[in-house]
Amino acid sequence: VRIVLATHNQHKVDEFQKILGARLPELEIVRYDRPEPVEDGVTFAANALIKARAAAAQTGLPALADDSGLCVDVLGGAPGIFSARWAGHGKGDVANRDLLLDQLADLHDEDRGAAFACTIALVVPSGEHAGPDAEPIELVATGLWRGSLARSSRGANGFGYDPIFVPEGLSVTAAELTAEEKNARSHRALAFENLIPLLRMSVIP
């Protein structure tokens, strides 16, 4: 089954392929990175649906999209949906991380709790058999990965905020994990775990 993944982020594509390849080999994930619709939703789910809806409408194929970010407890869940542009549009991962580290510099270890969140939206266009007024199927699944924020960046694997995120139960950052170790426990892996029954129900014969 062919399914498009609407993203500009190659790291997400790599993680999707590794996570799903192991679990659902019958799915062929094809990257789709046309100009994105405006992500003006106020939740991860809303933004993931905006991206997946546009891709499904443009391709006529089932579409997946991922909206994700880092939610810091003392910041009331920020950066959250603003994670990709925390230091400003186009400033990049290093600037985003450095700003967050600066903002949290005075906090004690016990106040540095955070979670990565990932919401994956699946939009399946209505089939021809479904009649002219049929709506697409829209489903979402979320995964959370608890941890805390390091005091400086460590590690070269992964992407984004991985070098400053210490997963619960570990003493290394997510960027010091191998891809296999990250994909075995990450917010993205958990979101997929929750999405698999929905995929089986809607796109996998």
Q: Residues interacting with ligand ITT, by CB under 6 A?
A: 7-9, 12, 66-69, 83-84, 93, 96, 116, 158-162, 186, 188
Residues of each annotated binding site for Mg(2+): 67
Taking CB atoms, the residue at the shortest distance from ligand ITT is: 160
**Nearest approach, Cβ of residue 117 and ligand ITT (Å):** 9
**Nearest approach, Cβ of residue 6 and ligand ITT (Å):** 7
Ranges of H-type helices in 7-162: 10-23, 44-59, 93-103
Nearer to ligand ITT, 125 or 158 (CB): 158
Nearer to ligand ITT, 44 or 139 (CB): 44
Nearer to ligand ITT, 24 or 54 (CB): 54
Which of the residues 33, 40, 67, 102 is marked catalytic? 67
Q: Which residues contact 103 (CB under 8 A, 6 or more apart)?
A: 75
Phi, psi angles (nearest 5°) of residue 56: -65, -40
DSSP letter for each residue of 11-42? HHHHHHHHHHHHH-TT-EEEEE-SPPPP---S
Q: Classify burial at 108, counting beta carbons within 10 Å of its beta carbon; exposed 0-12, middle 13-18, buried 19 or more.
A: exposed
Cα–Cα distance measured from residue 192 to residue 130, given in angstroms and rounded to the nearest whole number = 27
Residues of each annotated binding site for substrate: 7-12, 68, 159-162, 182, 187-188
Is 67 a known active-site residue?
yes
**Nearest approach, Cβ of residue 184 and ligand ITT (Å):** 13
- Active-site residues: which are they? 67
